[in-house]
Structure 1
Amino acid sequence: MKDDLGVVSDPQKSVLYAQVMDGDPRMKIDGEGYLRSASWPGNGTYVFLGDVTKALLRFLGPHDPPFFSIQPGYDEQRWVLESSSGELSVSVTSDSYWGLGLFARCFFNKIEMVGPLSLRARCIHDVVASLGRNPWEPYRLRRFERFTGASSEEHRRSWLELVQWASEDMRSNILELQERAETLSKRGGDEDAIKRASMDLQEATKALEDRNAPAVERALGRASSSLIEADPSTEVLSSEFASLDISDQLDTSEEIPFIDLSEE
């Protein structure tokens, strides 16, 4: 399995191994093999999804209904699941590597992702942040290494390359807006708007340190809006469009026919 490991070196595919710590949530598989909630009223077989796959599906984005290409049998935590979101597709294999699968911690997930590096990296960045632990750290180290055919350092590097790639991508977006703010300040842009943008960029930097990608995106969105407001050229264009709009309204008003109702 060692040869499968590869992240940045492969422009389209990543293979990761994760330690499962919690077997929940327990969900259902319908008659066609698709994942359903536990409260789904139809007939189906039960499956333990596990904490890692739950997080993965959450941060995959709007995705097709997860499909089980291999459904669980007697053991509800042994299966193969597939799903996709736009250009990104994932396949997760859940299996045990010690203890005959008697406990949730006996299981691991093999995650195969195919798609653009930016999408793979962002998804894994958010998965690691939401789990609040290092998913590449196994409960039984030697058995995990022997079963996967890779060392703990290789697993760590495979995960962190993606996490760091996503972090650097967001950091570059922050730096780009910071440079834009400095340029606008030199060109006489609106200082109040630039100040608001700078504060939002500070929030984005702090959120990035906390691995809170959604907060980074929100702060970047606010900063970008403030910089548009601060840009003198944007103000000129807005004034020109406003003038054109007023002119159009005046032209339209001249075309409205006058009806004298005084004699009715």
Structure 2
Amino acid sequence: MSRDVEGPVGVHPSVSILYAQVWSGKPRMSIDDKGFLTSEEEKISAGKIYLGDVAESAIRSLGPHGTPEVTEESYDEQKWKLVCRSNELKIKISSESYWGFGLFAKCFLNKIILDGPLSSRARCIHEIVATLGRNPWEPIRVRAFERKTKASISAHAQSWESLISFAKDEFLEIVEEQRAKIRKLRGLGEENEYLIDNAEIYLDEALMALSDKNIPAVERALSRASNSIIQFDPSTEVYSANRELLEN
């Protein structure tokens, strides 16, 4: 897909382009002499920007990532462009006003371009929405937002919601796959049956975390469930190693 496309684009093989309403301009960040973001407390600063609640949530939702780099700034500290990378994702965020001459934080929107595997993009977007605690595609000024982005609110909603649904469906599929494994393994080793019971508990915890939109907790619970299944499964090397330890 051409990077000239304005979007919005949700589920796509390689890129997602989303627009979000900014509610808060904070935190205020400094830019070092190489163009990278630093905390505002840094004494040496080549400039400052108001990062805003959406961009802050987006960067955190990447997981482990490099230092965000500001690629464009202006006299208006809330008008800027930046890029940030994690192991799997590259995110570009731009901030610009769309109504009210940019006098207030809520006069601004963020354009988010995510490159990387669809699964990772979907989970990132799911986490952004959960962290914000609101629907970022719902603007303060609907018509002005639509004019600026050249897209309807329904198109914006679809782009975000399609990724959120993709992430949810993917997690539900993983849970069902794990439950299917558990059903096959039941009765193969009564002395270690507690491992399968634990896996069931972890899967329930994953579903509860998913309903709370807590992606990190979902991933932790699924990882624990998978580890319990691997330890119980007689066909795995982990099971064989544990068996040898018990017998020696």
Q: Fold conserved (TM > 0.5)?
A: yes
What is the aligned partner in structure 1 of residue 8 from structure 2?
A: 5
Mapped contact 1:2–1:149 kept (Cα < 8 A): no
Mapped contact 2:8–2:19 kept (Cα < 8 A): no
Which letter does structure 1 place at the counterpart of 2:10? V
Distance in 2, matches of 1:158 and 1:129, equals: 16
Cα 1:146–1:2 shift into 2, 3 Å: farther
What is the aligned partner in structure 2 of residue 261 from structure 1?
A: none
**Matched-pair identity in %:** 46
What is the aligned partner in structure 1 of residue 172 from structure 2?
A: 171
What value does the CA root-mean-square deviation take over the aligned residues?
A: 2.1
**For each residue in 1:98-144, what CA deviation from the matched residue of structure 2 results, as whole angstroms up to 9, or x when unmatched?**
00001000000001111111111111110000000000000111110
**For each residue in 1:185-232, what CA deviation from the matched residue of structure 2 results, as whole angstroms up to 9, or x when unmatched?**
154553322212111111111111111111111111221222223324
Higher Rg: 1
Which letter does structure 2 place at the counterpart of 1:168? D
Tell me how far 1:21 sits from its aligned partner: 0.2
Distance in 1, matches of 2:98 and 2:153, equals: 15
TM-score normalised to the size of structure 2? 0.91
Tell me how far 1:67 sits from its aligned partner: 1.2
Counterpart of 1:4 in 2: which secondary structure?
A: coil
What is the aligned partner in structure 2 of residue 101 from structure 1?
A: 102
Distance in 2, matches of 1:116 and 1:41, equals: 38
Counterpart of 2:209 in 1: which secondary structure?
A: helix
**For each residue in 1:67-107, what CA deviation from the matched residue of structure 2 results, as whole angstroms up to 9, or x when unmatched?**
1111131x110011111112311111100000000100000
Distance in 2, matches of 1:28 and 1:201, equals: 42
Which letter does structure 1 place at the counterpart of 2:66? D
**2:233 aligned with 1:231, yes or no?**
yes
Counterpart among 21, 24, 27 of residue 25 in structure 1: 27
Which letter does structure 2 place at the counterpart of 1:5? P
What is the aligned partner in structure 2 of residue 122 from structure 1?
A: 123
Cα 1:30–1:228 shift into 2, 3 Å: same
Tell me how far 1:64 sits from its aligned partner: 2.2
Distance in 1, matches of 2:95 and 2:212, equals: 29
Mapped contact 1:17–1:136 kept (Cα < 8 A): yes
Cα 1:157–1:239 shift into 2, 3 Å: closer
Mapped contact 2:6–2:17 kept (Cα < 8 A): no
Cα 1:94–1:236 shift into 2, 3 Å: closer
What is the aligned partner in structure 1 of residue 217 from structure 2?
A: 215
Mapped contact 1:2–1:150 kept (Cα < 8 A): no
- Structure 1 residue runs of 4+, over 6 Å off? none
Distance in 2, matches of 1:203 and 1:243, equals: 30
What is the aligned partner in structure 2 of residue 257 from structure 1?
A: none
**For each residue in 1:143-171, what CA deviation from the matched residue of structure 2 results, as whole angstroms up to 9, or x when unmatched?**
10111111110000000111111111111
What is the aligned partner in structure 2 of residue 48 from structure 1?
A: 50
Cα 1:222–1:236 shift into 2, 3 Å: closer
Distance in 2, matches of 1:3 and 1:206, equals: 36
**2:206 aligned with 1:204, yes or no?**
yes
Which letter does structure 2 place at the counterpart of 1:201? L
Which letter does structure 1 place at the counterpart of 2:109? F
What is the aligned partner in structure 2 of residue 253 from structure 1?
A: none
TM-score normalised to the size of structure 1? 0.86
